[in-house]
């Protein structure tokens, strides 16, 4: 459960994070992308082994992070829904879906 998000900070399961994270059914992991503000398949591949039905991408406070078309196509081919929205909304979406579906949230905490 994501308890709180504000620019540069996320609290999940009682722990505070100040760097980008991926929230999976197995816990919260640090997240670094190959191209900073662009999300590619390789950036999420390690987190897809949990078999999510939905991947929620938090594109930052202002929505500046870009989800590359190749990632959209890859997830669609795997039958995984993609929701990309600002991080505050992505946190809300993750919390709403997590009790009903297998969901992974990749969250950019700044920008």
CA dihedral 48→49→54→57, nearest 10 degrees, is: -30
pLDDT at residue 16, rounded to an integer = 98
Question: How far is the C-alpha of 72 from the C-alpha of 31, rounded, in Å?
Answer: 19
Specify the pTM.
0.96
Q: With contact defined as beta carbons under 8 Å apart, do 90 and 58 qualify?
A: yes
Instruction: Report which secondary-structure segment, H or E, holds 100.
Output: none
Number of domains in the chain: 1
Q: pLDDT tens digits, the chain, 111 residues: what are they? A: 999 999 999 999 999 999 999 999 889 999 999 998 999 999 999 999 889 999 999 999 999 999 999 999 999 999 999 999 999 999 999 999 998 999 999 999 999
pLDDT at residue 91, rounded to an integer = 98
pLDDT at residue 50, rounded to an integer = 86
pLDDT at residue 98, rounded to an integer = 95
Of 77, 101, 74, 97, the closest CA to residue 85 belongs to 97
Q: With contact defined as beta carbons under 8 Å apart, do 77 and 110 qualify?
A: no
pLDDT at residue 53, rounded to an integer = 98
pLDDT at residue 17, rounded to an integer = 98
pLDDT at residue 100, rounded to an integer = 96
CATH code (residue 86): 3.40.1230.10
Range of the domain at 65: 2-107
């Amino acid at each position: 459960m994501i308890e709180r998000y504000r620019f540069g900070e996320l609290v999940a399961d009682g722990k505070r994070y100040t760097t980008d994270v991926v929230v999976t059914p197995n816990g919260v992991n640090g997240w670094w992308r190959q191209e900073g503000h662009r999300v590619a398949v390789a950036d999420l591949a390690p987190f897809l082994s949990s078999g999510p039905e939905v991947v929620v991408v938090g594109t930052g406070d202002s929505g500046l992070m870009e989800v590359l078309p190749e990632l959209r196509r890859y997830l669609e081919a795997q039958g995984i829904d993609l929701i990309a929205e600002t991080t505050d909304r992505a946190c809300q979406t993750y919390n709403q879906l997590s009790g009903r579906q297998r969901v992974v949230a990749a969250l950019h905490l700044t920008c």
